[in-house]
Every structure is written in C-alpha cells, then in structure tokens.
Structure 1
C-alpha cells in the first residue's frame, strides 16, 4: 500500500470512531441521570480498574496504549456526569459569593527586615500598609492565621534557584487563599563594612540568594553561611571579614560598602511572590488559578487529572509535589494554571475535581503583576 492509501484507511477508521465516542458520551449522560436518583457515586474505581485491566490484556503489545485511550474516555465520561449532577456545590457557592474587591490591609506580614526583597515586594503591592517584618516563613503564616496581619507576602519560586519548598509546605498546611502575585526582578550585590573585597572570608545570605549567586561565590572560594533573610545577612556584614549577598536597598540602610553589583548567575533573575489571606477574593482581572490535591496510588492517576485540564483548554504553568506529613511516600500536588473560575467550563472542572480528589483545596483565582 502507498502512504496515501494507508492514510485514507486511517481517515476511514477515525470517521467510524468519532460517532462511537459521541454515542459513548451520551451513555455517560444517561448514567448520570440514573445516579441522580439513586445517589450513587460518579467514580467507581473497582469497575474502572477491571475494565482497564481487561482492555490492556486484550490489546496485547499495545496494552499500555489501549489503557491510556480507555482511561481518557472514562475520565471524560466522569466529567460529563459531574456536570449533570452539579458537582462541587460547596465550592461553586464559595466562588459565586467571593468578593471582586481586593482588601486594603492595615498590616501585611513578610519575611526579613527593612530592605529585604520580601519587604520590597510588600511595599510595591501595599505601599500604605504597615509592614510586619518577621524572622521566618512560618511566622508569616501564623500572623495571618491569628489576625496580627490582614495579609502575608511570601516568595514561592525563583527563575534560577527554583521553588521555595518550605513555603509550599506551609501553603499546603494552612491552605489560605491566594489573592495576588508579583514577579519581582532580583538584583543581588555583595556588601560589607570592609572596603577591600580581598579581606572577605565569609558570606552570609538567605539560602535561596546564595543559590542564585553560586557562580560568583564559588569563583572567589568564600565560605558561605545561610541566615533567615538577605536583610539579616546585611547585619552580619557589619563584622570584620564578612560580606552579605543582599539588595542595594538593604546595603544602603546598613551603611555598607558595595563591593560588587549584579552578582546573580542569571541576568533576568526574578522571584515570584504570593499574597495570602483568610478570605477568597476573585478580582475582575483574575487570570491565574492555584489549587492542591492528593492522588490515589493507581496507574495513570496524575495523567488522568492533567488530561482534564487539556480537555478544558487550560494551560498549566506550575506543578509541584510535596510529601504529606506523617504519610510514607504520599504527596500533595500544587498546581497553577491560567483561567478564570467565573467561566463555567473552568468552574465545572474545579467542582468535579473537588468532589473526586482527596485533600482537594481551591487556593485562589488572582492576577499576577509582572
């Protein structure tokens, strides 16, 4: 057979498959109508596993591929059933009740001291609020929890050093709402009370900042020591022979000498900060959604969830897995994707996942400022 003849045969097969797929989806809708009256759950893992195992066995060398095709069809069938059954009523009500007006906070908690990058992010977002400067990330979350601060600002990832694991752990622990985000350019300098760079033997900074300047620091062979923030490092740099990796602002506030500027490994270095609060707020320009959930230990469980985002035309921008405290090798997944929870197709997906996935939490729908 020629290539054209084979392609013609494929087109003929595909033309037969589509009506069968649509017929199958209609059957899924009929199943939902029956379940509406009986109260039976949409997801029947025992039945699905048996079907997938049988399909894989019958497909022989294409068993894995056949399992994926049928698993995807089942996933789409469940989505249709959730839509008909009105899944996630609690979440739907919360989204519909959410205010579109962002708060004007009196106090905002963030890491470090005056001049830290977190403090700079806080001033850019809330210049009229009182900064509550704290020594560690857990204190920021606790300040929001006990009402000491209306909001908190925390860094979650850097374009060169990657994710801030401790912050993601705290997000998954407290499950506050995310109200906004800021992508902030990060420019590091080497600052010290010393005037001669050759007198430096030890450099302090936050672990993330040290990682962002790895090349520069290794080239000089200095000992590096972590501390709570870049602003705290600037305090240490007042000692003889000690320097800090910090912002120009922190160095100037401490009266330090700038021994080198722009020492970060990547010239376009940026850090992404999130605004956390206790209440859900969805502003009119919200275009990014964050959520978290866990998954059962079954073949293709994560793939099945991600397929649903693709089917809804949603673009994933971040996926992070973190171990669940007290569980052996069980994980929570954190996802960011573009979209609006006020769009019915997107909200329908969120509501379906809300009812189906363990430990599911809608973390927020917000706008990110570049």
Structure 2
C-alpha cells in the first residue's frame, strides 16, 4: 500500500473514531448527572455509596453482552463506576472521622527532647536512624520489634524506630505484620546507608562462622558464599557484635556496622562486605499520635478487600484516575483467617489536598479493615 493511500484510509477511520467520541462524551456527562441524583437520594435515605452487588451485576452483564470484548468492556465500565462513586463520595462528604483528623492533627513534630525506642542495642542501624531523625533523643532499646510497639503503646516512649525495607534484601515482613496489627501512625521515615563489616575479637582471625540478623546475612550472601562461611541468625546486627565481644566464640565473627564493632571493641577484619555498594535500609518512625505536616509527601494506608472479582484492580485504578503515584504495595495474611489478606500501600501525596483527601475518605468508607497510617516526609 502506498503511503498516500495508507494516510487516506487511516484518516477516514480516525474521523469515524472522532464522531463516536463526540457521542460518547455527552453520554458520559449524562451518566455522571444521574450519579449525582443517585447521591442525593442515597443521602436522604442514609445508605452507603458502594453497592457491590449491583456493580457486579452490571459488570457480569456487560462482559456477557460484549462477547469477545467482554473483559475490555468490563474494565471500561469498572472505571466509569469508580469515577461515579468518587463523585458521589465527594457530594456526600464521607469519611467524617478522617476529615476531622486532617483538621485537628498536629502539623509539626518535635525533633528534640523526645523519647524513642529502637530494636537491638547501641550501635544498631536503628540507633543510627534515630540519631539521624531526632536531635539528641532519649533512647531505650528493646530486643524484639514487637517490644518496640509495646513500649510505644504503654507510653514509655513517644516514638519507635523500625526498619521496613532494604534496597537489596527487600521488605522486612515481620515489621509490616506488626504495623498492620497495631495500626499506629507513621510520622516520618529515614533512609540509612548500610555498610556491613566483618568484625571479630582480637586474635580471632580464622573465621569459619558469621553471626548476624537474617537481613544482614542476606545482604552479605555473596561474601559468605565466596568464603565458605556457615551462618547463625541473631536478633540484630549490633546485638550479634555484642555477643561476639562478650562470649568470644572461636572462629566466629559478626556482620555489623563499623559503629557497632567500635562500640563493643571488635576488630574490623573486612569492610564493605555487603552485596550491593549502594545498600540502603528505610526506617519508619511510629507514634500513637498522628502528625500531618503541611509539606508531607508520602501517605501510607492499609486495608483488606471485598470478595469481588477485580477488587484490587478497582482500588488501584482510583489512584491512577487521580494521577497519584504508588510507591509500594505489600500483602500480608490476616491472622486467623482463611487465605484473606491485608494490603499495605504507600503513595505520593498530601492529605491536605482536597482531591487526595476525598479519595482516602472514599476508600475509608468502602474498604474493610481500612486504616490511614500517616502522611509524612522522609528525612
């Protein structure tokens, strides 16, 4: 086909598409007008926006009537209904609890004269994260992540400092499980560069075993494999250094930070043994009280989903419609349930922006086990 003929035929088809689009837009606007009338009726009747049964019936019918385009047609109608629900939520001003929180929460957070709790012992990476985020905090240490949450819950500490993901080893699943269980607020985050070293007692150079936290062992797996070392898991990298310093086991070294090695008087045998040179761990700051800075730029939510086909897609689609960028999604089993999951989600945004607040409030009203976990900045 010659280029001129190709352009002629393509132009004719595009004109037909434009004609159809001109018909679709008024129909869409007419449908949205009907949605607004529905919202007014629902408000008078005191019934919720989401009618999952009716939406599923519509999607099933559309999928059947569209034949070979059934899936595509259902996706189109799902998007239309999502936009419709968003408009109804906006009109009904739902999510009253969240709207009050947005209005009443503190806009700034104390950075000095605070009590914070970290997992591990002095010299741990969480210790470094706390010192990076706060100015001269009063620090206490606990042996487990659960004890960090319990210390904040009891009021013994204002804030907890916890690792949530590493650039090389991935998510710290146990911490996400605790975040979803306690549902405290995340009020800050900080990224810490992780540089592991091999550290042992003076005179203990013939190393056959390394001891560290499972994440530390994972992040140094190449070095461990190359040198044929056996591994022992420990509660924390700095706690491993403390154990090696106190117990002096033969042929055993700790994988820890240089600060931890110095803290406990160990000799650094090898620096920078992590797999990735640019290795970072992200820590979050948790609190029982929310803090919502005006310049916050990351939002964390958690929720479960109704047992409806495509429910996760429908939720994620709402963020795309609002032009919001998802930065993380993590699923974790709900304790005691039969293959049901909570979802943890991070996205870029600010709750003080009306459209973003409307979206979060709509999700709050629609989704089971929904919790707003915080809007914060990363140091």
1:248-327 map, 5 Å: 248-327=258-337
CA distance in 1, matches of 2:204, 2:159: 42
Q: Secondary structure at the match of 1:157?
A: strand
Q: CA deviation at 1:133?
A: 0.7
What is the match of residue 200 of structure 2? 192
CA distance in 2, matches of 1:344, 1:321: 28
Q: CA deviation at 1:291?
A: 0.6
**Residue 173 in 1 paired to residue 181 in 2?**
yes
What is the match of residue 77 of structure 1? 84
Query: For the Cα contact (< 8 Å) 2:294–2:352, is it kept in 1?
Result: no
Q: CA deviation at 1:83?
A: 0.7
CA distance in 2, matches of 1:354, 1:254: 48
In the TM superposition, what whole-angstrom CA distance separates every residue of 1:91-126 from its partner, at most 9, and x where no partner exists? 100111011120345320011111000011111112
What is the match of residue 3 of structure 2? none
Q: CA deviation at 1:9?
A: 2.1
In the TM superposition, what whole-angstrom CA distance separates every residue of 1:210-268 from its partner, at most 9, and x where no partner exists? 11111111111111111010011112333221111100000011111111111111111
Q: CA deviation at 1:194?
A: 4.8
What is the match of residue 208 of structure 1? 215
What is the match of residue 171 of structure 2? 163
Query: For the Cα contact (< 8 Å) 1:290–1:364, is it kept in 2?
Result: yes
Q: Secondary structure at the match of 1:285?
A: coil
CA distance in 1, matches of 2:198, 2:295: 39
**Residue 330 in 1 paired to residue 340 in 2?**
yes
Q: CA deviation at 1:195?
A: 4.8
Which ranges in structure 1 are unaligned for 5 or more consecutive residues? Answer: none
In the TM superposition, what whole-angstrom CA distance separates every residue of 1:176-206 from its partner, at most 9, and x where no partner exists? 0111000111111111115565x11110111
1:221-240 map, 5 Å: 221-238=228-245, 239=248, 240=250
Query: For the Cα contact (< 8 Å) 1:186–1:270, is it kept in 2?
Result: yes
Instruction: State the TM-score, normalizing by the size of structure 1.
Output: 0.97
CA distance in 2, matches of 1:15, 1:110: 60
CA distance in 2, matches of 1:293, 1:105: 34
**Residue 126 in 1 paired to residue 141 in 2?**
no
Which ranges in structure 2 are unaligned for 5 or more consecutive residues? Answer: 1-5
Instruction: State the TM-score, normalizing by the size of structure 2.
Output: 0.95
CA distance in 1, matches of 2:214, 2:20: 57
Query: For the Cα contact (< 8 Å) 2:163–2:284, is it kept in 1?
Result: yes
CA distance in 1, matches of 2:367, 2:227: 50
Comparing 149-158 and 104-113, the one that deviates more: 104-113
CA distance in 1, matches of 2:238, 2:352: 40
Q: Secondary structure at the match of 1:368?
A: coil
From 24, 27, 45, the equivalent of 1:20 is 27
**Residue 10 in 1 paired to residue 17 in 2?**
yes
What is the match of residue 66 of structure 2? 59
CA distance in 1, matches of 2:180, 2:114: 26
Aligned length: 368
What is the match of residue 38 of structure 1? 45
Query: For the Cα contact (< 8 Å) 1:56–1:66, is it kept in 2?
Result: yes
Q: CA deviation at 1:34?
A: 1.3
From 348, 367, 370, the equivalent of 2:377 is 367
The root-mean-square deviation of aligned C-alpha atoms, in Å, is 1.3
Query: For the Cα contact (< 8 Å) 1:321–1:334, is it kept in 2?
Result: yes
What is the match of residue 146 of structure 1? 154
